[in-house]
Structure 1
Amino acid sequence: MGADWGPVVVAIVLFILLSPGLLFQLPARTRVIEFGNMYTSGISILIHAVLFACIYIILIIAIGVHIHAD
């Protein structure tokens, strides 16, 4: 049986999608949320890291995403 690639794929996709400023930034400079502004800040990095961890834990532990390569 091959390795479980589920956690790796989920982490890569979430890291790309939750990069502050790529799709959205929470909190933004002038508003609560801005879309596609390509800026970041320290608090925004912290909030996106917490979102990343929460979504990752939900997908890997609670839902159980598994991708097996043979």
Structure 2
Amino acid sequence: MADWAPILIGVILFIILSPGLIFQIPGNSRHVEFGSFMTNGKAVFIHTIIFFGVFTILILAVGVHIYAG
């Protein structure tokens, strides 16, 4: 049986943390922008760090496992 947790959590976090889709830190004109559909290099870097941190906590520290089949 394969562990699907890293794949599903990675996809969900990627969608939620895509800069400019739901929110963006830092924004182009403000510190936080919601639904702007635009991005910049700083926001990509910050969202990457947030993604890595949350993903690592969920997979390694909490130990989330999803088995199918």
- Identity over aligned pairs, percent: 48
Listed as ranges, the gaps of 5+ residues in structure 1 are none
2-structure distance, mates of 1:39, 1:64: 34
Which amino acid in the other structure matches residue 26 of structure 2? P
TM (normalized to structure 1)? 0.95
SS of aligned partner of 2:39: coil
Offset of residue 39 of structure 1: 0.5
2:42 counterpart of 1:43: yes
Q: Name the structure 1 match of 2:54.
A: 55
- Provide runs of 4+ in structure 1 moved above 4 Å: none
Q: Name the structure 2 match of 1:69.
A: 68
Q: Kindly tell me the number of residue pairs found equivalent between the two proteins.
A: 69
**Bigger RCO of structures 1 and 2 (CA < 8 A, at least 6 apart):** 1
RMSD: 0.6
Which amino acid in the other structure matches residue 40 of structure 1? T
1-structure distance, mates of 2:35, 2:64: 28
